[in-house]
Structure 1
Amino acid sequence: MTTNAELYARRIAAIPKGVINGLQVFAARAENAELWDIEGRRYIDFAAGIAVCNTGHRHPKVVAAVEAQLKAFTHTAFQVMPYEGYIALAERLNALAPIDGPAKTIFFNTGAEAVENAVKIARAATGRTGIIAFSGAFHGRTLMTTALTGKVAPYKKLFGTLPGEIWRVPFPVPQYGVSVEDSLKMLDSILRTDADPERVAAIIVEPVQGEGGFHIAPPELLKALRKVCDTHGILLIADEVQTGFARTGKMFAVEHSGIAPDLMTMAKALGGGFPIAGVVGRAEIMDSVDGGGLGSTYGGAPLSCAASLAVLDVIAEEGLVARAAAIGERMRSRFTQWSQRNDLLPVTNVRGLGAMNAFDLPDAAAVKAVTTKAFEGGLILISCGVYGESLRFLPPLTISDALIDEGLDVLEKALVL
């Protein structure tokens, strides 16, 4: 039998260090919220493939849908010979998206590709080129999305000149000393001193920052951004790549604010483990690009569309929007209890929407130590934050209460001083 150590040695020899591995063990199989490595050890999954497996690993309905599609055909390229699955999925998303008026959707492969194309669409629709983003944001690793991302190391380091006409507003995070008022003052300053509003195509914002630390965009910020965009003819892009599809206790996180974006990017949980991403937006905006200006060889692949349609069915049939809210309440209650104890590492800034939760530890070294101890106890965790100080929690929305509690018990032991 191949061991984890042997396979990791092969990985080091064959794959560049630019892509990192949080763990040095290798997956053999998975079921709902549990994973087993190639040596047979079991793990509780609080990462869900970075918010991909909201419906759990290998949900039976997703597997069945993909198997059925596999028996029909696997690829034609939608631009060459289209197929109903792509259209059916677009129709479902157009109806679900919190977009004012008629909506249209186009599919790609990754979240970064969705953001890249949302920028292209915004520029075509407005005839403008400037983009405003936020500090701490993560929008991807292509050149444009790297430029939009608000963190130098490791995302921008060594990559030279990035696309221009991007301006950055500090994201409101109380523990960083930044309020909503501060953010809006800086936005106003940018529009007065650096960026002609008539040259700004879009403002892009994550309703809950992902890699930046799971910081929630206050509703008053999003409402103010909507007002600024309406005043100046700027488009508002909501990046829902990590927050979408029931994760936050709404189908999309921006719904917590009550505002409607003009464009919305999505990926991750949509495919239930199969690669797919998309941009949905107001129909007249989406139709601003000439034929052939948008597309992708694999975008909206047949297997991924089949999986995505099943994912939407599962979310509705199993009540996963409400389940996400219940998961969040259960986890945050435990985190808050830990924050009041003095026999554990200091747990601070407990936060979250639905089943997208985080808290801070003293520093990145403490986070690393806790994730290592938790992993040794059979729990998979991942971190985030501008300073690497945050633990983030993204369990599958199909996880049982018993498994949540078992995982939290492991984590509590890892936090003991």
Structure 2
Amino acid sequence: MTDPTSTRQGALPALSALPTRLPQRRELLTEVPGPSSKRLAQRRAAAVASSAVSVMPVYVADADGAVIRDVDGNSFVDLGSGIAVTSVGASAPAVVAAVAEQVAHFTHTCFMVTPYEGYIEVAEELGRLTPGDHAKHTVLFNSGAEAVENAVKIARLATGRQAVVAFDHAYHGRTNLTMALTAKSMPYKTNFGPFAPEVYRMPMSYPYRDAHPHISGKTAAKRAIDQMEKQIGASSLAAILIEPIQGEGGFIVPAEGFLPTLAEWAREHGVVFIADEVQSGFCRTGDWFASEHEGVVPDLITMAKGIAGGMPLSAVTGRADLLDAVHPGGLGGTYGGNPVACAAALAAIKTMEEHDLAGRARAIEALVLPRLRALADELGTAEGPIGDVRGRGAMLAIELVHSGSTVPDPETTRAVAADCLAQGVLVLTCGTYGNVLRLLPPLVISEELLSEALDVLEGALRRHSVAAQEV
């Protein structure tokens, strides 16, 4: 662990108050995947639908802090956090204790039948933590897609309008309505239609790909607004739905001014502004919510992933008048706000606050981005493969392109991720074009472990940069 008094730029403060069960180190005892993982893959092929894919071929036996141990005893540095879920670390002590205590009392009653205090406490915390000092109410669900779908329901009922705007490169889920809201066809939408109607797609601010010619955030927002006014009309538009930093679409950080301009136009025209913070929320970007970076106060916020330390929970929090416009019984579900998940959420939130994990995310950014940008300069953006390095907090990305162009290079992206896995570092990919490496380390990762993982990533990028140029 680093010295907690260190002031070196990028240094991560020690977290001695958060003990770990597993050694926080990278260790490979077998080839990857090992024999036990291969045997489980054979059993899986016989029992599990082939459509339910996994991007990694290793099977987990244990996980703790920023380390995943597979069934062969190999320990991997986790730079994925289960897609931004285990931000407080895998099996975080406070979350484990809270879950164990709650399970000992009751695992379920259904809040719609016999309510309980945990649900109320989570709603109170979300009202306190989300942007804005207006009156807020909350309703809890199980998944991010459920939260998004219910936010749209709320907006449509409250406004009496039907149209909903989503953006290029967006990902909002796999239910019927959220598939319509999601931009990418394969694998999320292909042959699953027909989709829900009255969904309109607008151009996103994508600074790397808007660079020639340069389009400012405000100009990009006005481009989208002009299309909304022409294609839909403000009087027919119920909601604008946007990820403040796009997740699955490529960790796209819109140019400054894009979100505030859209939010201001929405407010002027009575359009509900919904921030999908499913992936970007809960300290991930250096603030509790990514919307806060430019002072945007959404009407509704959808949340999941990092909310409960790995337990399934999601939420819609926002203006009380909007949520209360829905008739009694119009929102809910059997498992929504499960008491065990609520206990986990309260423990995760307490951990984030006590250890300033938002500040720690900013420290991760300060440590990682300079290294990645120096590597991009070393390799030479004209020669490739690094076209762009971007992100905020501990939600960071590297976009890979073919030499001397902005043409996406998904092949090299997959090869780099596979190379990292073979050396004990788990790196996820994403992007509309499949050419983005995304880094989502647990916010409790030590500086030493993170630096070691970056060494592995940089080595893989160097090797595959040379290989790509030789093709």
Contact 2:205 2:221 in 1 (8 A): no
Q: CA deviation at 1:187?
A: 2.4
**Number of the residue aligned with 1:355:** 394
Q: Alpha-carbon deviation of 1:264?
A: 0.3
**Residue equivalent to 2:179:** 146
- What CA distance in whole angstroms lies between the structure 1 residues aligned with 2:133 and 2:125? 15
Q: State the 1:386 CA deviation.
A: 1.1
Equivalent pair of 1:99/1:282 in contact (CA under 8 Å): no
- Give aligned pairs, total: 417
Query: What is the identity, as a one-letter code, of the residue corresponding to 2:289?
Result: F
Q: Quote the residue 2:281 is aligned against.
A: 244
Q: Which residue of 2 aligns with 1:20?
A: 53
Residue of structure 1 equivalent to 2:3: none
The TM-score normalised by the length of structure 2 is 0.86
Q: Give the letter aligned to residue 19 of structure 1.
A: A
Match for residue 452 of structure 2?
406
Quick one: which amino acid aligns to residue 54 of structure 1? Answer: S
CA RMSD, 1 decimal: 1.5
Q: Which residue of 2 aligns with 1:227?
A: 264
**Equivalent-residue separation in structure 1 for 2:248 and 2:451 (angstroms):** 25
Instruction: Give the Å deviation of 1:17.
Output: 2.4
> Which piece of structure 1 moves more, 8-17 or 401-410?
8-17
One-letter code aligned to 1:234? V
- State the alpha-carbon separation in 2 of the partners of residues 2 and 413 from structure 1: 27
Matched, 1:367 2:413: yes
Tell me the alpha carbon deviations over residues 325-367 of structure 1, each in whole angstroms, 9 at most, x when there is no partner.
0011111111011112239962231111111000111210001
Which letter does structure 1 place at the counterpart of 2:306? Answer: A
Residue type at the aligned position of 1:415: L
**Separation in structure 2 between the aligned mates of residue 94 and residue 218 of structure 1, nearest angstrom:** 28
Q: Is the 8 A contact 2:144 2:303 kept in 1?
A: yes
- 8 A contact 2:206–2:255 mirrored in 1: no
Query: What's the offset of the Cα at 1:201?
Result: 0.4
Structure 1 CA distance, aligned partners of 2:101 and 2:188?
Answer: 39
Shift of residue 188, structure 1, vs aligned partner: 3.1
Matched ranges for 1:13-52 at <5 A: 13-52=46-85
CA deviation map 1:98-125 (0-9, x unaligned): 1341101110000000000000000111
Q: What residue identity is the alignment partner of 2:273? A: L
Query: How many Å apart are 1:13 and its aligned residue?
Result: 2.1
Instruction: Give 1:31's aligned amino acid.
Output: D
Number of the residue aligned with 2:376: 339
> Share of identical aligned residues, percent?
45
Alignment partner for residue 134 of structure 2, among 82, 97, 101? 101
Deviation at 1:415, TM superposition (A): 1.6
- 5 Å matches for 1:3-402? 3-177=36-210, 179=215, 180=217, 183-342=220-379, 346-362=385-401, 363-402=409-448
Distance 1:109 1:170 in 2: 30
| Residue 181 (structure 1) shift | 5.2
Q: Which residue identity is paired with 1:173?
A: Y
Structure 2 unaligned spans of 5+: 1-33, 402-408, 464-471
AA in 2 matched with 1:346:
P
Give TM-score scaled by structure 1 length.
Answer: 0.97
My pick for the range that moved more, 9-18 or 44-53, is: 9-18
**How far apart are the structure 1 equivalents of 2:99 and 2:384?**
44
Paired residue secondary structure (2:412):
helix
SS of residue in 2 equivalent to 1:215? coil
